[in-house]
């Protein structure tokens, strides 16, 4: 499988990254182990998790995904074969994140130092390859993307400088090899880059944001930053939370699917979403293309994408989605998808 640079770290990661957020709710420990075995056998060397997971967030399942990865490392003794990414939460009203369980959590130095040590324990490792801030430590207009419509937000926050200092300290201590952002804006990304350049702090290697055929807001401002500053995009939700697979077409509610179990699909059910989806399905049908594999292959066709994060609840789904990296891609298909986007841009930001 193709490997791409992870920023300026010297680490190279597979263009497909194994996402893990369903392990601990929709998937058992044994199923998580089976997925990791298969992914590694298919030359995927990049796994992504978070202290928050599994999803949807719950106090009783927080950290469960990291624990599953940790038992796999212990049983397989193969930590050195994986570039492991995890995340610390940003500003959140949730109060179950220690050591601040009596109040909403913020990414202060105290919180970050506690979070990384807890993640290391659960993961049964003494280092993290890529440590990311899951979302900003400030009120934010929209989660996971650059907003199409700006909305002013207020609330408690931690200055980027304090969080960056903590992340820099972790790199210097050896607990973390590299740092990254997630669900961040162009402004926030440049503030972190400025801190590295002006003050000699650790430099961000990546940004993990939503990016797919229905949501290309990353291209509006962040793509140029990523390309010029060597900050690779870790594209999450390449299938638009499953909408681009067609499994929810015509209001279908497949058993065991995330929409059926949890809802939480508002981003992909707004005005214009259905028309954009149907146009995409028609294009694929006319060309004899698989919906899911085309959507994943679209993301890794972009040079600013370091890796595309896929997640699966079944081995059949995992095998199918990983195979997307082998799908041929050409300028004609790229132009056709771009034409659809220009007709209905960013219907699901």
User: What string of pLDDT tens digits covers the 349 residues of the chain?
Assistant: 999 999 999 999 999 999 999 999 999 999 999 999 999 999 999 999 999 999 999 999 999 999 999 999 999 999 999 999 999 999 998 888 888 777 789 999 999 999 999 999 999 999 999 999 999 999 887 776 677 777 888 888 999 999 999 999 999 999 999 999 999 999 999 999 999 999 999 999 999 999 999 999 999 999 999 999 999 999 999 999 999 999 888 777 776 667 666 665 567 877 889 999 999 999 999 999 999 999 999 999 999 999 999 999 999 999 999 999 999 999 999 999 999 999 999 998 8
Could you say which of 53, 268, 280, 291 is catalytic?
A: 53
Q: 274 to each of 227, 249, 339, how far by Cα in Å?
A: 32, 9, 17
Question: What per-residue confidence (pLDDT) applies to 229?
Answer: 98
Helix (H, G, I), strand (E, B) or coil at 59: coil
Q: Is 53 a catalytic residue?
A: yes
**CA-closest candidate to residue 181, choices 214, 147, 229:** 229
Please state the φ and ψ torsions of residue 159, each to the nearest 5 degrees. -60, 140
The neighbour count for residue 307, using CB atoms within 10 Å, is: 30
Question: What per-residue confidence (pLDDT) applies to 236?
Answer: 97
Question: What per-residue confidence (pLDDT) applies to 251?
Answer: 74
Dihedral, CA of residue 36, residue 6, residue 205 and residue 320, to nearest 10: -40
E strands, the chain, where? 3-5, 12-14, 16-19, 46-48, 83-88, 128-133, 176-182, 204-210, 232-236, 305-310
Distance CA 297, CA 292 (A): 9
Decide: residue 57, CB within 10 A, 0-12 exposed, 13-18 middle, 19+ buried. middle
Distance CA 161, CA 177 (A): 19
Please state the φ and ψ torsions of residue 181, each to the nearest 5 degrees. -115, 170
Confirm whether pTM is higher than 0.85: yes
Q: What is the DSSP letter of 26?
A: T
The neighbour count for residue 227, using CB atoms within 10 Å, is: 14
Distance CA 119, CA 91 (A): 18
Superfamily name with CATH number, domain 3-343: NADP-dependent oxidoreductase domain (3.20.20.100)
Query: At 276, which helix (H) or strand (E)?
Result: helix 273-287
Question: What per-residue confidence (pLDDT) applies to 260?
Answer: 62
Q: Please give the angle made by the CA atoms of 202, 205 and 206, to the nearest 5 degrees.
A: 135
């Amino acid at each position: 499988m193709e490997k791409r640079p992870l920023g300026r770290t010297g680490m190279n990661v597979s263009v497909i990254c194994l996402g893990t957020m369903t392990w601990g709710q929709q998937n058992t420990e044994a199923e998580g182990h089976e997925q990791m075995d298969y992914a590694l056998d298919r030359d995927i060397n990049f796994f992504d998790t978070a202290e928050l997971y599994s999803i949807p967030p719950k106090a009783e399942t927080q950290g469960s995904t990291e624990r599953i990865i940790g038992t796999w490392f212990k049983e397989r003794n193969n930590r050195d074969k994986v570039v492991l990414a995890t995340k610390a939460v940003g500003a959140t009203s949730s109060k179950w994140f220690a050591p601040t369980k009596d109040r909403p959590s913020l990414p202060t130095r105290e919180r970050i130092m506690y979070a990384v040590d807890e993640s290391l324990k659960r993961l049964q490792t003494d280092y993290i390859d890529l440590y990311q801030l899951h979302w900003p430590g400030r009120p934010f207009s929209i989660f996971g993307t650059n907003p199409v419509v700006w909305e002013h937000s207020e609330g408690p926050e931690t200055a980027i400088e304090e969080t960056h200092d903590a992340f820099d300290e972790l790199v210097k201590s050896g607990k973390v090899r590299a740092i990254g952002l997630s669900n961040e804006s162009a402004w926030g990304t440049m503030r972190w880059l400025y801190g590295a350049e002006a003050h000699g702090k650790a430099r961000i290697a990546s940004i993990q944001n939503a990016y797919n055929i229905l949501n290309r807001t990353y291209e509006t401002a962040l793509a140029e930053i990523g390309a010029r500053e060597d900050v690779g995009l870790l594209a999450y939700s390449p299938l638009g939370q499953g909408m681009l697979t067609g499994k929810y077409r015509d209001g279908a509610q497949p058993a065991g699917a995330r929409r059926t179990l949890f809802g939480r699909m508002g981003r992909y059910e707004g005005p214009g979403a259905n028309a954009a989806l149907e146009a995409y399905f028609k294009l694929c049908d006319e060309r004899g293309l698989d919906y899911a594999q085309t959507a994943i292959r679209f993301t890794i066709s972009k040079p600013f994408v370091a890796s595309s994060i896929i997640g699966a609840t079944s081995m059949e789904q995992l095998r199918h989605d990983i195979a997307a990296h082998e799908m041929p891609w050409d300028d004609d298909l790229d132009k056709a998808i771009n034409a659809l986007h220009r007709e209905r841009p960013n219907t699901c930001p």
